[in-house]
Structure 1
Amino acid sequence: MHVDLLKEKAIVLHSENWHPGIIPIITARITKQYNRPTMLIAIEGGMGKGSIRTISEFPLLPVLKENEHLLVNFGGHDYAAGLIVEEKNIGELKNNFIKSANNLLDEKDILSKMYLDAETNFDDLTFDFMESIKLLEPFGNENPPPLLFCEAKQVWAPKVVGKLHLKMYLEQKDRMLEGIGFGMAGRKNNLRKKHLSLKVVFTPHINVFLNKASIQLQIKDFKIKEPHKKKKEHSK
């Protein structure tokens, strides 16, 4: 993502090279990653088919109704919508959408947020515990899987797997668990030092490899815990 796009509080992109069937997935991912209202428009034959996703602080329908004169059609709800627009009107629609977001959203609104469910220890992460999590299913947008957090030490240096993902080896009270951070390969260099203390946000799941089940952490975020600095003693 080009850094200039993040100067605004909304993201609007369009292209003749996109398939309209794939853009809803990409729009949702961009919105989630950058915590901004996002509109992607696939152009073909002078017409654009758009997909929009947003954050809770910026409902879509009022903005779309304000720009109804620029649209051929639109539909959806306040947090996900689609539209059809003539190519000649895309520039004005883009400017209006970004202007509305810049006017309505504060800087704090576009900060990435995680709503954590509970602090836990590795000792709590048993197969019985995983069975109890299944009682909360099915998971989806309205019922996300639980987000837990804890402090743990990095035992070994992380590995990049599948070019994009980061496998981590974490320990707490003599129990080691593997963690996988999808799309986090770029953060490997932050973890060069051995035995780093980390604050980790994750969702636990059961991983089966060669018919052997183990509990693995799906890492959602992590932060290096800064060591406490000893206060200097001053001699009298």
Structure 2
Amino acid sequence: MRYVPFMKKRCEILRPDTDTVKQLSKVLKCSPVFASILVNRGMTSPENIFDFLNPSINLLRPPFCIKDINIAVQRIYNAIKDNEKILIFGDYDVDGVTATTILYQFFCFVGIDVSYYIPHRLTEGYDLQVTHIREQALANRINLIITVDCGSNSHEAVQAANKAGIDVIITDHHKISNPPPPALAIINPNQRDCSAGFEHLAGVGVAFYLLISLRKHLRDRHFWHNRAEPNLKEFVDLVALGTIADQVPLTFENRIFSVIGTKVIQGSKRTGIQALVEVSGLKLQAITAEDLVFRLSPRLNAAGRMGHAKEAVELLTTIHPDTAEQKAGLLNQMNVNRRHIEKEIIDEICQHINNNPHVLKKSALVFSSPKWHLGVLGIVASRLVEKYHRPVVLISTKGKEGKGSARSIPGFNLYEGLQACSKDLESFGGHPAAAGLKIKYEKIKSFEQHFEKTVQKMTGPNDFLPRIAIDYVLDFDHISDSLIDELESLKPHGPGNPAPIFMAKNVDVLSSKIVGGNHRQMQLRQTSGRTGKTFRAIHFNAKTDPPLKNSFEQIIFRLDWNRWNGKKTKQIMIEDTEAFAI
């Protein structure tokens, strides 16, 4: 047995070098708390910290050393010059949709004959396939295919394109097969012989860098001499959306894209974005990166999950307000449906686990059903990983075939785990933390057994115990407006740049009430505090877990502004009250 169900989380108090913290605090004129957080994130150079806190498009590193990018740019230039037909082949998630959109709009601006195609998630599945060469490329006399956010494992499709005399340029960021597909050019910073240092980019980031290189190539050949040159900053709104939605590390270029792109959205003239923001119940000028993650991205993703991703591309490319309003409303309703179906599947699986608690003796959870909607399985798997903290594979079966989504915990490389079980699978692809797969129905039981053994072999006991890294043990006396302003400068948070986590000890609960149906709002005061400061706190989804106490030995929390009706107040957001220190 690798994991004891519902065991308390373990928290580790980070202890940065005190001399480095003091020096940074002095040089940056910031609080020791803020300096400690920077050191905990591996930032000790004042110059690098300045760049991190002040993201600028000018800080983007040049892309010209990315493998094959010059080959791709020259081929696209020839296509433009010779008026060839280009097909952009995308993926159905937000990353793929935004990457498709920026390439499509750039080529439309140039004036070339360009079209795009995104496969249907349920009926066609992921990636460029041989049928697409026949039915989309040959049928429409395409000369050049450019993939975005896919293609790194499309051997047969690329071979079919080559045989038909159609060149293929792959732009992607997923794990690439060895040997790679025989494409004319593969722009994937994660391929083995590419040392450019852009492994963190999302698919839309790779596509954006292709546009940077292409625009310069065209400039060097005086293409823009008699026409306006496109301002690529106008595309950064979509780069931010795709980057944040794809959960890539929000460091280096991705941080720049996220911060600058959010600002571009705040002043957006893009009709589709305006409609999407409105249907999400937000105000354009007040959009935050968190809104991109939790409000806009789910609605864009709903198109590919519940219908067809082309609806999302049409929303982002339209210039007509009526069309934008109609498309945004459609995506919003799809998202409502998605949430309903997602809840049904989660409730079903959790009920099954409650009725069969022995399931939790396993190191991995593998479930299948013919009733499940494939489009939501990735989200459901993520929710189950959060709840049970172990790798999860969910498979939707139809006849003799099954398609599924998998999600993992930090201590287990999912891609390598699936690779070890590849004999049971028809195909698979993805990342260390998330993947998709195809499997024959009769192989599911065998896969479940092999996957369980693989997870056990590749993990240790501590990998199954949720870990919270504490940045600072913070007394309430030291919580101030200036500290929260400092913390704000670290946003947006996400992979690679987690929100700062604090611990406070001996905290009294002065009052408590339930808000929003399932959230507990409290007024807190620290017993040992000299100033007697009290703070409003919110503990999400904590109506009965844990039971309310009059005091806590310790709380694990985040700090932020609570903005409401034009006012802002300091707020504690409780993460945990039961964790134990190690």
The alignment's TM-score, normalised by the length of structure 1, stands at: 0.83
The structure carrying a bigger strand percent of its residues is 1
Pick aligned residue for 1:183 from 516, 541, 553? 541
2:470–2:501: 8 Å Cα contact kept in structure 1?
Answer: yes
Q: 1:154: Cα distance to partner? A: 2.7
The structure carrying a bigger helix percent of its residues is 2
Pick aligned residue for 1:116 from 448, 465, 470? 470
2:139 — aligned with what?
none
2:377–2:394: 8 Å Cα contact kept in structure 1?
Answer: yes
1:138 aligns with 2:492: yes
Give the RMSD, CA atoms, in angstroms: 2.3
1:201 — aligned with what?
556
**Bigger Rg over Cα:** 2
Q: 1:187: Cα distance to partner? A: 1.7
1:165–1:45: structure 2 CA closer, same or farther, 3 Å change rule? farther
2:420–2:454: 8 Å Cα contact kept in structure 1?
Answer: no
1:170 — aligned with what?
524
| CA–CA distance in structure 1, aligned partners of residues 414 and 439 of structure 2 | 16
Pick aligned residue for 1:148 from 495, 498, 502? 502
1:44–1:122: structure 2 CA closer, same or farther, 3 Å change rule? farther
1:200–1:210: structure 2 CA closer, same or farther, 3 Å change rule? same
Task: Deviation per CA, 1:3-59: give whole Å up to 9, x if none.
Answer: 323211111122233222222222222223322111122233443222212223221
Matches within 5 A, 1:80-95: 80-95=434-449
Higher relative contact order (CA 8 A, sep 6+): 2
| CA–CA distance in structure 2, aligned partners of residues 68 and 41 of structure 1 | 15
**AA in 1 matched with 2:541:** G
2:378 — aligned with what?
24
Q: Secondary structure at the match of 1:185?
A: coil
Q: Secondary structure at the match of 1:187?
A: coil
1:49 aligns with 2:403: yes
1:232 — aligned with what?
none
- Unaligned ranges ≥5, structure 1: 226-236
| CA–CA distance in structure 1, aligned partners of residues 468 and 579 of structure 2 | 17
1:34–1:112: 8 Å Cα contact kept in structure 2?
Answer: no
Q: 1:157: Cα distance to partner? A: 4.8
2:552–2:577: 8 Å Cα contact kept in structure 1?
Answer: no
**AA in 1 matched with 2:472:** A
2:488–2:560: 8 Å Cα contact kept in structure 1?
Answer: no
- Which stretch shifts more, 156-165 or 172-181? 156-165
1:10–1:38: 8 Å Cα contact kept in structure 2?
Answer: yes
1:82–1:198: structure 2 CA closer, same or farther, 3 Å change rule? same
Aligned residues: 222
| CA–CA distance in structure 1, aligned partners of residues 493 and 359 of structure 2 | 32
1:5–1:211: structure 2 CA closer, same or farther, 3 Å change rule? farther
